[in-house]
Amino acid sequence: MAQMNLLYDHLSQTLYFPLMSFCNLIVGYKCLSTVSCVEKTVPAIGASGIILYKSKTYNSNETAIIVPNLEDLLVIAANKAANLIICFPYGIKNLPQEVLPCLESYNKFILWFGNDEPDWDSARHVAKKLDNKRCLFIRPTDLQPRPKIASDLGYNLKEIIRNAQPIWHKSITTFRSLRQDILSDLQNIDKVQGVKWIRYPALNKILKGHRRGEFTVLTGPTGSGKTTFMSEYSLDLAIQGVNTLWGSFEIKNSRLARTMLQQMIGVPLDENLEKFNVYADEFEKLPIFFMTFHGQQSIKLVMEAVEHATYMHDIAHVIIDNVQFMMGTLDESKFTDRFWKQDQIISAFRTFATKFNCHVSLVIHPRKEKEDGELTTSSIFGGVKASQEADNILIVQDKRLTNIHGKKYLQPRIVIVVILEL
């Protein structure tokens, strides 16, 4: 405890780990309950320091082990498996820009995270910020779980650390370099399917979860509830820790945020005004960011903002609502130009999703068709590029106005039956 300058509160049975800044100043604390093992960071946002463990035999050329939580840090330290261990202030899903100067003096890092899809994605994202060439990582196989689990199972932590492999590869690779990735996928097949929706369990059966690097298109008739659905769809993921960036080009951010707040609490806001600050404080803790654009904007300007936010806030899900408002619909006569412009937008976001390993969801209006007919993938406004580039296409079918028994439902493109009533 003295070595890390830890504090212990006997009353609450809590350990306080100091967050050390670049200038070696204490800028906050990471708290660990010795009863429930729950971690909490103070301040809740904006901390610019790291938890740092150095053994007595530490030297300046040591490779630093980066772990996701305090429990793992303590396990590695107790087993004397490493001389230098680092833990970030807010886990591995959010690496604040202010923390990076604290890490500049280290030559190499070994990232030892969990063996589910979000943790694996986080390892790659953290490595990009720290420079891939400086980073190795522990591949998440059954024999290499995170430190606490490995220790409980009696595994040799030093041996696991010795097996760390580079994240960075040259442009040409071989199957030998890929085989461990394949093994990790197969051993964690249920975990690499993505973040599961809580509010839309039917989507999990079809899409298997929300994954980074994919491209989703949502379409549906005007007034069918596309924005309302996408709002709750993204809120569900944000509550589970998926860092989200909203680009609402059609409605104001204040209106969108109110809708999301209403969806989160599940009670009428206007009837519970006395609790507004309580609800707002809870919503403010969610990793949701909003772009300030409204109406027509250039794709270059939007992409600059999106890429900046992805780097600064570790964004994992970008929503654009909607493409027609973003590109402008003032000149109805230039259909060819509009189709070309939309294809350009779709291509830019598809490339971004792949390059930055970030999920992108685009809301696109359908072209005008007969009211009594069902929408299909060919109903999406513009050319065929949207349906060709998309990994997932969600279509809101609204039959309430054309059929006395009609329903409104969501239809992924690979399904021909109603899977979700809205």
* Residue 390 near residue 215 (C-beta atoms within 8 A): yes
Q: Catalogue all structural domains in the chain, each as residue range(s) with its CATH number.
A: 18-23+44-187 (3.40.1360.10), 201-421 (3.40.50.300)
Which residue would you say has higher pLDDT here, 164 or 45? Answer: 164
- CA-CA-CA-CA torsion for 87, 92, 96, 99, nearest 10 degrees? 20
pLDDT digits (tens, 9 = 90+) for 320-365: 998 888 887 544 445 557 778 888 899 999 999 999 999 999 999 8
For the ranges 88-97, 98-107, 163-172, 227-236, which has the lowest average pLDDT? Answer: 163-172
For the ranges 20-24, 139-143, 177-181, which has the lowest average pLDDT? Answer: 177-181
Q: What is the DSSP string of 189-242?
A: TTTTT-BPPSS-HHHHHHH-SB-TT-EEEEE--TTSSHHHHHHHHHHHHHHTT-
Which residue would you say has higher pLDDT here, 191 or 123? Answer: 123
In eight-state DSSP terms, residue 394 is: E
Q: Using alpha carbons, select from 234, 285, 287, 228 the residue that is nearest to residue 93.
A: 287
**Is the pLDDT score of 181 beyond 80?**
no
pTM of the predicted model, to two decimals? Answer: 0.71
Average pLDDT over residues 152-173: 82
* Residue 352 near residue 311 (C-beta atoms within 8 A): no
CA 25 to chain centre: 30
In eight-state DSSP terms, residue 70 is: H
Confidence at residue 258, expressed as pLDDT on a 0 to 100 scale: 95
